[in-house]
Amino acid sequence: MIHFNVFVTLVLVLSFMLSLLNLPGVAGVVWLYSYCKNGTIFTRNGILQQIKNGTNFTSNGIYQQNLHSLLSFLSSNATQGKGFYYATAGQDPSNVAYGLFLCRGDIVPLKGVCQECVLTATKDIVQYCPKEKASIIWYDECMLRYSNESFFYRVEEDPAFKMVNAAPPVNESERLMGLVATTMTDVAARAANDPSGKRFDTEEVNFTSSQTLYTLVQCTQDLSVADCSKCLREAIGSLPQCCYGRIGGRIIYPSCIVRYELHPFYRVEDIPAPPPSATTGDKRKIRMILLAVGIPTVLIAILVGSCLVYLLRKRRKAKENGKDLPELLQDMASPRMTEEGNLPNSAELPVMDLTTIREATDNFSDSNKLGRGGFGTVYKGVLTDGKEIAVKRLSKKSCQGLVELKNEIILIAKLQHRNLVRLLGCSIEGEEKLLIYEFMPNKSLDFFLFDSSKGVQLDWQRRLSIINGIARGLLYLHEDSRLRVIHRDLKAGNILLDHEMNPKISDFGMARIFGGKQSEANTKRVVGTFGYMAPEYAMQGLLSVKSDIFSFGVLLLEIISGKKNSGFFSDDGESLLIFVLKCIQIGLLCVQDDPADRPTMSLVVLMLRSDPMTLPQPTKHTFAAKTVAVSKESSLNHEVFSANELTVSDVSPR
């Protein structure tokens, strides 16, 4: 059976060739992916079942009637030249159907293309998801979704869909990804702030003398400027994880999409049309030759290549899956540290049976889902002895392979600290790759920090305790452990909270290990989350402990402000004003552009604990990419300041 990716490739190639032939009556749209919330599944015994948890609607019921009306509204409004439209159908709140469609911004002016895509989507979505109350379907030209719950004016990044160009990576992968990041950042800013509200933009820049980089970003038009920026920022930040070095890739969220290629994939106005070179009779002959020879040749080549790739992957998986975890880790380990800093040997770690984990999580039911990360979904589980656990189930399509899995397993097994999450075990059976952690009942820091209602639980004393805990954990990673570890993805979502709200740093899948006296490195593989990366790392791949310091500074400002990478404010509590100023100043010291100006974690901990300590003044912050270098010997120049440098005004009402 042909793999799904091969099928998509066949469709794309055929569509491209037929469009070149300009044959009449060959119009069509390219289906990419469909998502049915809690749809059909295959059980162990192979019987096809429907999950009975209230997400399906009754045939010929009120909701289905409302859904039918909704889809009619959407398709009819696509005929009016609108590239975006949202609507509701129904009066009873329990049966209202909410839906929208979004056409790719560059095809909206093309007569009939958006209409054809939306019309196709309204028919296909009820075929793929015949009884689901919430579904999404993506095409190359448009997206359509509906739900029984309102999702308008809200950023949604789940489910995420990623596609990578199957062509071989480019030689200058690092330069390409740097150009992608800088270009897309500019394009995203223009799209989010587009006064017309289209939330769409593209840009082409030269990659080499003969290659052009084409980029496209788009949000649903119901999002605010801030929400569109957030969605695009998260999507762009995910590109290095899935598409590093590839000549093309895309991240598709329900609320936004980003894509880049080294060939034009959207309407580019300044691409010159090919000069006329043949008569009508010649064109007809050329078409016949292409149809008779070209298409079969391409199909044969794709089929042969796909079979070879399939056999190689199958052989590799069979080889890997036939070994237990210790043997697999030993095979992947090498006598010396690899270029990416992997440890030279395996770790002793309990291996849990997959059946036990399935029973503990109720077969990974949605009711036990704790959250979703870049590499997979985390579930709550309860073992037979009553012990609660958290299980990270790596996605089968996850970009985190066995190397990253091994990296995280060995790191957490060897690192022991009260402010680092504890790994209890792991399991690798067939295509299942699982990591079992201690259960954190209070989820992650972002769950409280960026929610106005839950944020009130984080009083200033609690926030100070969390800041100190994170700082101690980073200090251990950077200076006190047997290994010097650079986390590379420090953010609120990776700070877990135990039952006493003590913070624990988690998710070491992207961590980098420095050996001996090594303090910096230049990596070709830039990973992490956009918005938390230090500029010298994101743009040039220059990695050091100061990269984590930058991320900590962003996180510190977020904890103080309660806002994600945005403006700052202080609480009305007068006694806390000095502490607020101190934390903001420490945060500004941590996010200085030059890595040499940023303090070490030991100094950060000292500054946080010392009330009367006078702090150095930070340099000017640009928060923009520029050429910087990590010095061989980073040091902080201490200067003596008078206490009169800092003044606090006590403002009271009259």
Residue 480 CA to residue 476 CA, distance in Å, equals: 4
Give the residue from 229, 261, 293 where a domain finishes: 261
**Nearest-angstrom CA–CA distance, 297 and 304:** 11
Q: Average pLDDT of the chain?
A: 75
Q: Are residues 197 and 171 in the same domain?
A: yes
Domain contains 651:
no
Are 294 and 171 members of one domain?
no
User: Beta strand pairing status for 432-438 and 388-394?
Assistant: antiparallel
Residues with Cβ within 8 Å of residue 307, at least 6 apart in sequence: none
DSSP characters over 309-378: HHHHHHHHHHHHHTS-HHHHHHHH--SS--TT---SS-----B--HHHHHHHTTTT-GGGEEEE-SSEEE
Q: Which positions ≥6 away from 651 have C-beta within 8 Å? A: none
Using CA atoms in the order 38, 40, 44, 47, what is the torsion angle rounded to 10 degrees?
150
Domain assignment present for residue 607? The answer is yes
Q: Annotated catalytic, 158? A: no
- Alpha-carbon distances of 201 from 29, 132, 135, 540, 636, rounded to whole Å: 21, 33, 27, 26, 42
3-class DSSP state of 282: helix
- Taking residues 84-100, report their average pLDDT: 88
Q: Clarify whether residues 590 and 458 are in a common domain.
A: yes
Q: Which residue has the higher pLDDT, 55 or 128?
A: 128
Could you tell me if residue 45 is inside a domain?
A: yes
Residue 118 sits in a domain whose CATH number is 3.30.430.20
Number of domains in the chain: 5
CB 134 within 8 A of CB 55: yes
Q: Is the dihedral of CA 528, 533, 539, 541 positive or negative?
A: negative
Confidence of residue 36 (pLDDT cuts 50, 70, 90): confident
Q: Is residue 197 included in any domain, yes or no?
A: yes
pLDDT of residue 402: 61
Of 380, 407, 438, which residue sits at a domain end?
Answer: 438
Q: Are 317 and 178 in a shared domain?
A: no
Query: Do the Cβ atoms of 460 and 573 come closer than 8 Å?
Result: yes
Omega within 30 of 0 (cis) for the link into 275: no
C-alpha to C-alpha distance for 342 and 436, rounded to whole angstroms: 21
Q: Which of 241-250, 277-286, 380-389 shows the highest mean pLDDT?
A: 380-389
- What's the full length of the chain, in residues? 654
> 6 or 408: which carries more pLDDT confidence?
408
Tell me which DSSP letter residue 56 carries: B
CB 105 within 8 A of CB 218: yes
The radius of gyration computed from the CA coordinates of the chain, to the nearest angstrom, equals: 27
Would 269 be classed as within a structural domain?
A: no
Stretch 205-234: mean pLDDT, rounded? 92
- For residue 28, the model assigns a pLDDT of 66
Q: Are residues 497 and 619 in the same domain?
A: yes
Q: How far apart are the first and last CA of the chain?
A: 80
553-581 per-position pLDDT tens digit: 889 988 988 877 644 333 433 334 466 87
Does residue 485 sit within a domain?
Answer: yes
Give the neighbor-by-neighbor strand order of the sheet with 376-382: 369-372, 376-382, 388-394, 432-438, 423-429
On whether residue 217 sits in a domain, the answer given is: yes
Please tell me whether the overall predicted TM-score, pTM, comes out greater than 0.75 for this model. Answer: no
Average pLDDT over residues 82-95: 86
- Residues 579 and 604 grouped into a single domain: yes
Show the domain range for 23: 1-28+279-321
Is beta strand 142-147 parallel, antiparallel or unpaired with respect to 31-36? unpaired
Question: Per 3-state DSSP, what percentage of the chain is helix, strand, and coil (rounded to 5)?
Answer: 40, 20, 45
The pLDDT value recorded for residue 280 is 43
Last residue within a domain, chosen from 228, 261, 294: 261
Confidence of residue 271 (pLDDT cuts 50, 70, 90): very low
472 in a structural domain: yes
The CA distance from 97 to 118, in Å, is 17
C-alpha–C-alpha distance, residues 122 and 90, integer Å: 18
Provide CB contacts within 8 A for 344, sequence distance 6+: 333, 334, 335, 336, 337
Question: What does the pLDDT look like over 38-65, one tens digit per residue?
Answer: 543 323 333 333 444 445 666 668 888 8
**Pair 631, 578 in one domain:** yes
**Active-site residue among 227, 489, 548, 593?**
489
Residue 382's Cβ-count burial label (10 Å; 0-12, 13-18, 19+) is middle
Same domain for 580 and 473, yes or no, is yes
- 40 forms beta bridges with 50
pLDDT of 360 above 90 = yes
* DSSP-assigned beta bridge partners for residue 393: 377, 434
DSSP per-residue string spanning 412-459? HHH---TTBPPEEEEEEETTEEEEEEE--TT-BHHHHHT-TTTGGGS-
Question: Do residue 431 and residue 565 come from a single domain?
Answer: no
**pLDDT, position 295:** 64
Q: Is 504 annotated as a binding residue?
A: no
CATH code (residue 392): 3.30.200.20
Lowest model confidence (mean pLDDT) among 100-114, 229-243, 527-541: 527-541
* CA dist., res. 524 & res. 340, Å (int): 9
Are 476 and 622 in the same domain? yes
Higher pLDDT, 351 or 204: 204
What contacts 602, CB < 8 A, 6 or more positions away? 475, 479
Residues 101, 186, single domain; the answer is no
pLDDT range class, residue 180, cuts 50, 70, 90: very high
How far is Cα of residue 355 from the mean position of the Cα atoms in its chain?
30
CATH classification at residue 590: 1.10.510.10
Band the pLDDT of 445: cuts 50, 70, 90. Answer: very high
d(CA 590, CA 551) in angstroms, rounded, equals 8
**Pairing relationship of beta strands 142-147 and 135-139 according to DSSP bridges:** antiparallel
Q: Is residue 239 domain-shared with residue 350, that is, in the same domain?
A: no
Structure confidence at residue 401 (pLDDT)? 57
